[in-house]
Amino acid sequence: RAFNHSLYLGHGDSNKATGNQQQSLQLQPMEVKPMLFLEFAGHSETSVMEDLAAAQSICMDYDGRNFAFASDEETRQALWAARHRLYYSAIALRSQDGDDGGATSRSTLVTDACVPLSCFADVVTATANDVKEFGVIGPCFGHAGDGNFHCILPMLENDSVEYKEKVSQVNANLIERAMSVGGTCTGEHGVGYGKKKYLECMYGTGGIAIMVAIKKALDPWNMMNPGKILDLKA
């Protein structure tokens, strides 16, 4: 049997939580502040609680606040709901804007990069600062355990050229910043048309040449997703 616990904590000004006692949770709306969600699993309740207590202690040392944790499935799902619904919640931030019904998944830019864990906080913070300085809407979130993160940038079909350029610049800065610290231009969503221009910077001309050779060997007529990642000469 696997034992599971979910832990949610926020970074804020509320009183520090003490101890690791199970709470009778009455979940309240979360503050608009950085949040961390963790999940623990193990072979026994004791081992899981020990890991949870250790993680909580570390987070408290770095000013973590508002701890809440649970083991029953219903409350665990309630804790995770904020993370699971974040994509649609981000789009909804502009759902009432404009005359065309607001932002949709089709008009939203989803960024995706991955950086070394030692650089994760700095790169996410710098991206959040870009969002603020450019005056666009763009919540940042990610999978902190593997250095992968996203900035969701909801747009409208009729957004001004200036606004769309600002969104593009946020994305470009994010990617270039990620690569500058040894990260990648994509963490899980792939390269495609939008990011193939960054491949040479990441892998060099030699790396691209190898990719082209493999592509030609497996797809000599360039029939499979032509131009999607590599531009092949006729």
What does the pLDDT read at residue 37? 87
pLDDT tens for residues 170-189?
Answer: 999 999 999 999 999 988 88
130 with 174: CB under 8 angstroms? yes
pLDDT at 99: 60
Nearest in space to 49 (alpha carbons), one of 1, 2, 5, 8: 5
Better-scored residue on pLDDT, 67 or 46: 46
pLDDT band at residue 24 under the 50/70/90 scheme:
very low
CB 216 within 8 A of CB 232: yes
**12 contacts: CB under 8 Å, gap ≥ 6:** 31, 33, 65, 66
Q: Using one digit for the tens of pLDDT, what is the confidence trace for 68-114?
A: 788 888 888 888 888 888 899 999 999 876 566 789 988 999 999 99
Token pair 């072979």 is found at 43
Q: Look up the pTM and report it.
A: 0.81
**pLDDT tens across 102-121, in order?**
899 889 999 999 999 999 99
* Interatomic CA distance for residues 59 and 9, integer angstroms: 9
How confident is the model at residue 43, as a pLDDT? 85
What integer pLDDT is reported at residue 41 of this predicted model?
85
* Cα dist from 185 to 69, 114, 176, 179, whole Å: 34, 7, 8, 7
Report pLDDT for 8: 56
Pinpoint the alpha helices (H) of the chain.
45-61, 73-84, 86-92, 117-134, 161-180, 192-195, 199-218
pLDDT per residue as tens digits for the range 39-50: 888 888 888 889
Q: Give yes or no for residue 18 having a pLDDT over 90.
A: no
Q: Specify the pLDDT at position 26.
A: 56
Q: Residue 208 — very low, low, confident or very high, per pLDDT cuts 50/70/90?
A: very high
Is residue 14 pLDDT above 90, yes or no? no
Contact 87, 152 (CB under 8 A): yes
Q: What is the DSSP letter of 197?
A: G
Question: What pLDDT was estimated at residue 143?
Answer: 87
Calculate what percentage of the chain has a pLDDT beyond 70.
85
Q: How many CB atoms lie within 10 A of CB 134?
A: 16
The band of 20, judged by pLDDT with boundaries at 50, 70 and 90, is very low
CA quadruple 196, 197, 198, 203: dihedral sign: positive
Number of residues that this document lists for the chain: 234
Let me know if 163 is exposed, middle or buried by CB neighbors in 10 A (0-12, 13-18, 19+). middle
pLDDT for residue 13 is more than 60: no
Distance (Å, whole) CA 140 – CA 150: 6
